[in-house]
Structure 1
Amino acid sequence: MANTTTELQKTLKIKLDYDQLTNCMRCGFCLPACPTFKETGIEAESPRGRIALMKAAVDGVMDPSVQFEEQMSHCLGCRACEPACPADVKYGQLIEQARDAIEEHTTQHRGWIKGVRSIVFKQLFPHQKRMKLLGKGLRIYQKTGLQAVVRKTGAVGLFSKQLASLERILPDVAGTGIVEKIGTRIPAKGQKLGTVGMFRGCLMDMLFMETNYKTVQLLSEAGFEVIIPETQNCCGALHAHSGETSQAKELAKNNIRAFQEAGVDYIISNAGGCGAILVEYDHLLHDEPEWKEGGKWFAERVKDISSILLEKGRLLTFNQGKTEADKVTITYQDSCHLKNVMKGGNAPRKLLSSLKNVDFIEMKDAGSCCGSAGIYNVTQPEMANQILDHKMENVNATKAHYIVTSNPGCLLQMKLGIDKHADNKQMQAVHIVDFLYDRLAKNVERDI
């Protein structure tokens, strides 16, 4: 173990940005913004505490032990600390650098965990065709009655109660992707305002293909020609957050090539978690000079679907509802990465507030993490569920009919929250794209 910690210390010295470590003034402004610190009150569970641990390891004051590794893994990576930091410390970059170093030396992954990580990060997510096969498999699972048998027997719960809970809120899977559905080029309706490339994502295209379809329709209705580069792949967010930085870089390079060849004006994401790494491809590839221009070109063009509709698109017309009985109450749960990294928290609110016969209620602490955080709710279920419990207290206080969000992970987590804790079991969690599309007054195709 001593040799392992010594090697990890050496790698931390190489990978961690020491200037950023010393930029932290220990002021504590990050503490009330940090979900894990709010839940525990423990200094080491805060950004300031984790930065102190990183610096102590690099300076040789402490050995980066198993406890050090665990503390780095406890962070949700929501990056709520960054907007709160007066010194502009790039905490998100630091935590990814630390995890990258840990991944090279960790002794915590047992054999089966290493195997699962290899399958997920190297054999599955980088390959769109394999993701499609997984989608088809889930479709068969849902439509053949196998899902009903599994739920009745409680088979999933034998392995993990958390996975059993997540399986209950699994959406109906289309079994096909957006390109198979509508092709790679969709013309603008009316006067063309520009050409956008749609980032279809991995989980979005597999679990939420209908939302991808509706995203294209909204963009087309707003005046954009939509191109969906077929050679694009996973954004690399899960890889970067989990210490698989080299793999994330390769995925980024392929996406840059795909969208540059498409010649688009903007690159549109409908998933906050994907958008946050897409907009930072320039940083991800900062140490590779030959990709400097490509990373910058890509990052400058990334926009969230709400932002492009609000800022660049033709004004959409929405159905106002016929009677007072049609009025619904909604609230919005921020995607952490959309809010904290892409700075896109206002656009969804403006769009939702513009709808007639919709009563928008701002939720208390809407910007705090819901506990999803990529695969955090699978790897750290206890903390994730604790955060979700408190989130649902604020959701219930709004008495909303709909919880609207802008990220697939948040959407699934809020569905789980409704399943477990909602006062009103008729409450629904919906993606903002689905909510807007279903209220369009225009005659768009609805052939899903």
Structure 2
Amino acid sequence: MTTVKERETIQEQFKERMNEDELLNCMRCGFCLPSCPTYIESGFQESHSPRGRIALMKAVVDGLIEPDEDVEKSLNMCLGCRACEPVCPSGVNYGHLLEEARDIINQNKKHSLPVRTVRKAVFDGLFPHQERMRTLTGLIGFYQRSGLQKAVRSTGMMKLLPDSLSSMEKVLPEIPTRKEMKNRPTYLPAKPEKRKRVAFFSGCLMDTMFMKTNDATMKLLQLSGCEIVIPENQACCGALHGHSGEKDSAKDLAKRNIKAFEDLQVDYIITNAGGCGAFLIDYDHLLKDDAEWSERAKDFSGKLKDFTSILAELEFHKMKLKLPHQVVTYQDSCHLRNVMKTSSEPRRLLKAIKDIDYREMKNADSCCGSAGIYNIVESEMSMQILDTKMKNAKATGAVTIVTANPGCLLQMKLGIEREGLSDKVRAVHIADLLLEAVEG
């Protein structure tokens, strides 16, 4: 609960920092309402819609309401999927408004000691340090391989956790060894001939927990004629920080990445995680007020491209791609679609695979409920959204659900587990499926 002084400070910061022109751009037309998962799943509560949240921000700026717990709850309930942006006739940059509002609240609110401790450990102590990420994921790998996981499950200890967390433990990918995580390439030649020179953003979780997907992505890029450089000194993209009210830390990480990539003389900077890509491509906005970094950030953002886009550009879909007959559907990564504007390319690649039956899922462009750590901090709403998503996925009859983001992948695996379909349906990252199709 915020104190009177904290609310006064937050209100003053809203007046100083919120972009009032952007707030006024919202015409209250309601075009965003059908695209907002929290508005629909909350029973059409206006305060859980983009239009409603913008109205709350504007009311705080104007001094009509205080930035109290109800305002904070409304902002925290937002997934940040940004599905409202493509349908907005005024072009309101809702995601930028949301991140600014969250940052103001979090930087001027005194959290409890346990919350401060966890936030410091995660945002300062873990994600900015790749070696620590390797250590943590290495411990999870030890838990999986040592027999400890089997022992814990057999004792029923997982039942002490909330359902979503105990199910999440079941769907974690097989973690590589610590030695494998440390032995990463910094350069890979094109095969058979060079058509593009690209830099690969390997990410933090993607290069540890999802390392095999990174390897699959780079192999696909090589086969498409890409020479690849992978900077050793790159860092976490900063998305988790930016979405959680830790904007200064996000800026520090952005500067580290810009510096790591800017002298490589590459055609593109390639990502394979929609959430990371969307935050990376927004570096020009994040650093727009920094005289030293704004132009450098603009150059960086201008080179960002999802790996499916360059595969499509280089006509990878014309290669011989084949899989055993199966029904396949695709779940959009919100940020890949809504921010990076990439939606047709993954579908084109999937439809090129011989012998599969591709079926479009109803509302495939709607959020699955993962949204970074949303499925942990707002578990009830997340599972409600996931249940709707699984209903649509099951209606396709698909045995393979394809995603393009690690959070979406775990969320869809969680949905499959909750539905009792683990022996019939799988969720897979598109890079892994495309490599299967090449090898097939």
Q: Same fold (TM over 0.5)?
A: yes
C-alpha distance in structure 1 between counterparts of 2:60 and 2:285, whole Å: 24
Unpaired runs of 5+ residues, structure 2, are: none
Contact 1:177/1:205, CA 8 A, preserved across alignment: no
Corresponding residue number in structure 2 for 1:283: 285
Q: TM-score, normalized by length of structure 1? A: 0.94
What is the CA-CA distance between 1:217 and the residue it aligns to?
0.4
Matched residue, 1:236: 238
In the alignment, is residue 115 of structure 1 matched against residue 113 of structure 2? Answer: no
Q: Where does 1:142-161 land on structure 2 (aligned, <5 Å)?
A: 142-161=144-163
The CA distance in 2 between the partners of 1:85 and 1:378, in whole Å, is 29
Q: Does the 8 Å CA contact 2:400/2:428 hold for their aligned counterparts?
A: yes
**In structure 1, what is the equivalent of residue 202 of structure 2?**
200
Residue 386 (structure 1) aligned to one of 380, 384, 387: 384
- Shift of the 227–176 alpha-carbon distance from structure 1 to 2, 3 Å rule, reads farther
TM-aligned CA distance change 1:129 to 1:182, over 3 Å: closer
Q: For 1:273 and 1:252, locate their aligned partners in 2 and report how far apart those are by CA, in whole Å.
A: 15
Tell me what 2:18 maps to: 16
Looking at structure 1, the residues matched to 185 and 121 of structure 2 have their Cα atoms a distance apart, in angstroms, of 29
- Secondary structure at the counterpart of residue 267 of structure 1: strand
Preserved contact between residue 36 and residue 45 of structure 1 (Cα < 8 Å): yes
Q: Deviations over 1:328-373 (max 9, x none)?
A: 1100000000000000011000110111101110000000000000
Matched residue type, 2:68: S
- Name the residue aligned to 1:215: 217
Post-superposition shift, 1:191?
1.7
The question of whether the paired residues in 1 share the 8 Å contact of 2:334 and 2:365 is answered with yes
Match of 1:336 in 2: 334
Which letter does structure 2 place at the counterpart of 1:98?
A: A
Within a 5 Å distance, the mapping from 1:37-436 to structure 2 comes to 37-40=39-42, 41-107=44-110, 109-176=111-178, 180-312=182-314, 317-320=319-322, 326-421=324-419, 425-436=423-434
Deviations 1:174-197 (A, max 9, x none): 034877445200000122011111
Shift of 1:422: 5.4
* Cα RMSD (Å): 1.6
Partner of 1:445: none
CA distance in 1, matches of 2:237, 2:361: 30
Query: Aligned partner of 2:432: which letter?
Result: D
Deviations 1:35-83 (A, max 9, x none): 0001111000000000000000010000110111111100000000000
SS in structure 2 at match of 1:440: helix
Distance 1:155 1:11, change over 3 A: farther
Letter in 1 for 2:83: A
Give the partner amino acid of 2:230. I
Query: Which range moved further: 144-153 or 187-196?
Result: 144-153
> Compared with structure 1, are the counterparts of its residues 150 and 209 closer, same or farther at alpha carbon in structure 2 (3 Å cutoff)?
same
Give the letter for the 1:341 counterpart.
V
Change (3 A) 1:188 1:313: farther
Q: What is the distance in 1 between the residues matched to 2:316 and 2:179? A: 27
2:258 is paired with a residue whose SS is: helix
Change (3 A) 1:187 1:176: farther
Helix, strand or coil at the partner of 2:197 = strand
Alpha-carbon contact 1:177-1:206 (below 8 Å) kept:
no
Whether the 8 Å contact between 1:221 and 1:316 is mirrored in structure 2 is: no
Q: Deviations over 1:366-393 (max 9, x none)?
A: 0000000000000000000000001100
Q: Which moved more, 1:404-413 or 1:2-11?
A: 2-11
Greater alpha carbon shift after TM alignment, 335-344 vs 149-158: 149-158
- Partner AA of 2:353 in structure 1: L
Per-residue displacement from partner, 1:99-157 (whole Å, max 9, x unpaired)? Answer: 000101224x3211211111111110001111111121111111111112222234344
CA distance in 2, matches of 1:356, 1:56: 55
TM-score relative to the length of structure 2: 0.96
Q: How many aligned residue pairs are there?
A: 437
CA distance in 1, matches of 2:166, 2:422: 22
Query: Structure 1: where are the runs of 5+ without partners?
Result: 443-448
CA drift of 1:308 comes to 0.7
> Whole-Å Cα distance in 1 between the matches of residues 384 and 65 of structure 2?
30
The percent identity for this pair of structures is 51
> Do the aligned partners of residues 166 and 277 (structure 1) sit closer, same or farther apart at CA in structure 2, a change above 3 Å counting?
same
Q: Are the counterparts in 1 of residues 134 and 181 from structure 2 also a CA contact under 8 Å?
A: no
Q: Secondary structure at the match of 1:203?
A: coil
1:390-429, Cα deviation, whole Å (9 max, x unpaired):
1100000001010001000000000000001255741100
Larger displacement relative to structure 2 (340-349 or 260-269):
260-269
Tell me which amino acid in the other structure corresponds to 1:236.
G
8 A contact 1:239–1:247 mirrored in 2:
yes
